[in-house]
Structure 1
Amino acid sequence: MTPKQLAAEKSRLVADALAEGFSVVRITGPDAIPLAPGRLQAFLRDGHHGSMAWMEETAERRADPKVLWPDVRTVIMLGLNYGPEEDPRGLLSARDRGNISVYARNRDYHDIIKGKLKQVAGRLAARTGHEVKVFVDTAPVMEKPLGEAAGLGWQGKHTNLVSREFGSWLFLGSIFTALELPVDAPERDHCGKCRACLDACPTNAFPTPYRIDARRCISYLTIENAGPIPREFRVAMGNRIYGCDDCLAACPWNKFAKASAEMKLKARPEYEGPKLAELAALDDAAFRAFFSGSPVKRIGRDRFVRNVLVAIGNSGDAGLLEAVRRLLDDPAPVVRGAAVWALSRLAPDELVALGLAAMESEPDATVLEEWRAAQSAS
């Protein structure tokens, strides 16, 4: 194709993607992130990925799009606005309710974006005859550095992509193609001296600006972490039961963002501040039904109820004690351990009587440690 034809094809592609519902489309080359491999290695070397072993396993492919797919000539980066109508931190004061991250308050964004990507990519392949591949989040693609290189925005001090038009509220997806399209200019950093996102983090998860230690991040702790929530972070979790929006919501660039009309249509009102007592009562079947089609379902009932119990322990609401007592005998050790901690927060006077009997029959070492720690602190 001639340069003129390629430019025309790029225009058609962008128009098609916008018509499909994407908010912004930009294009870059597969070699546009030369600093990314070194930064990824430093992140892994410092152990900041925590238990996410898959990041090490896919590091080579993640760092270089050409390793992931040698035939790629162009990376098309697409963003979908998911901006909320209100600051999601408002729910943090509702201590008897759970706060679910904004991105998970509607249908699973992986499904939403992947369907759109396939439509756009399929039409591009049909028009040009060039092979395409689509990726969204779960694939080993460094979407944020590529998004910056393409001009969607820049990686802010919270390490997430920031857009002058959409703030910190963009879902990202990518289309790799063997067609070499004209590229867009990268976006420069507009954070300046601002550190609002860093100061907003409840657990100080940013050792320095532009670096995150996932092991301290509430999103990691409530989603990726399979074991007990480390004690040092439990109080800071508050009522955050799935993810955390604090660093995103604090970004001043959000004042230019508009609420997403598309996400509003797919919103699940039942996920906006659900009652902790009702969530604590969910068994596996009820959990799967309640979170059908939601990304929350991916973590499973046990991990989720663990999060709910930490929130209950932070609620100060003695009316939630019965929910806690029922879960002291739960089949899942991670749930039983969290119930012990919640009990120690709401009714420490019950620990001695209940603990002696429970510790005699408790087979799990981590739960036994929860009993010991709770009793020594009371």
Structure 2
Amino acid sequence: MARAPGMSVRLKLTLSYAGFVMLAGALLLAAVWRFLLRYVPDGVIITRRFVPNRSDLMNAFVPAATVVLVFLLVFGLVGGWILAGRMLTPLARITYATRKAANGSLSHRIRLPGRKDEFRELADAFDTMLARLEAHVAEQQRFAANASHELRTPLAIAQTLLDVARNDPISDTGELVDRLHAVNTRAIGLTEALLLLSRADQRGFTRYHVDLSLIAEEATETLLPLAEKRGVTIETSGDMTPTVGSHELLLQMATNLVHNAIVHNLAEQGTVWVTTAIQPDAVLLVVENTGGRLAPQLVSTLVEPFQRGTKRIRTDQAGVGLGLAIVKSIAQAHGGTLTLTSRPAGGLRVAVRLPAYQSSSTRSVSWPPPSP
């Protein structure tokens, strides 16, 4: 936004300091003058000079007071200019860092030295913001590159199949249609997952009172045929877990967790445990599954988009690599957290922690809550 030029902050502070010094000096001189008028009667000798009346006293006091005020003005301007410059030095560093960030250099940091004060807190907060922004931009760049690669793969396969069919007119079109259908289904699934992830990140959804335990049961019942097909046993337990959020998104979150636990399990006689619990200020959804031992380094990357954990997937249900990324985004959009830990006996433990719904008996709240 274009603005008209004005005085610098340093000049404003200098004038403020000088004005304050002048005001303090004027008040001091006024107090001295009042003292002289009240306690010095006519005929008193002051500094070996006889003052016969108040008129002569004024003639002696005013020139001296003028000299003092001029001195205070000069002193206030010079001293205020120096002090303002020293006080605004940290602000200049913050401004420099802001301009570099505006030009695209997010790696620069202020790193303001000295003890903690208002400028130090501002600089540290700005450094933290730059670090998060840099990480977010890098994550978005990786996500865009990975999404482009994932979307290009099915399109390239479809193009290859069409080229082969065009060069071989006598080929089996039925097989071609089946393969193109599978490729197209995968592309549609990836696109829908990307849209769902974007919706969760934008937090553009209406919130209602929901029971997370019922949502977990619904997701388990939906995936029960898949579990039976793979020989996986699902065990559910827990309490009522009231929270506030989108039923659709929370159901997608629970479905992704249970589906992930079923697919990435033992080849035979695997088990999935789905548990809900309530705490004083939060509700928990915990999904555990048996499986191979997972290295902590691998577990820490599973929530990143398109990180499938290739050592534990099966080729018929590889997915698009967005399952846990979507779960993390949905949990964060609801003010919650996602925690992944490897089980000592093998497999994965995923815990989602969401804010608990406080009933009207414990706090006043309008229902349904307004969307953000």
User: In which range does the TM-score fall when normalised by the shorter chain?
Assistant: under 0.3
Structure showing greater relative contact order (alpha-carbon pairs closer than 8 Å, 6 or more residues apart): 1
More strand by share: 2
TM-score of the superposed pair, with normalisation by structure 1: 0.22
More helix by share: 2
TM-score of the superposed pair, with normalisation by structure 2: 0.22
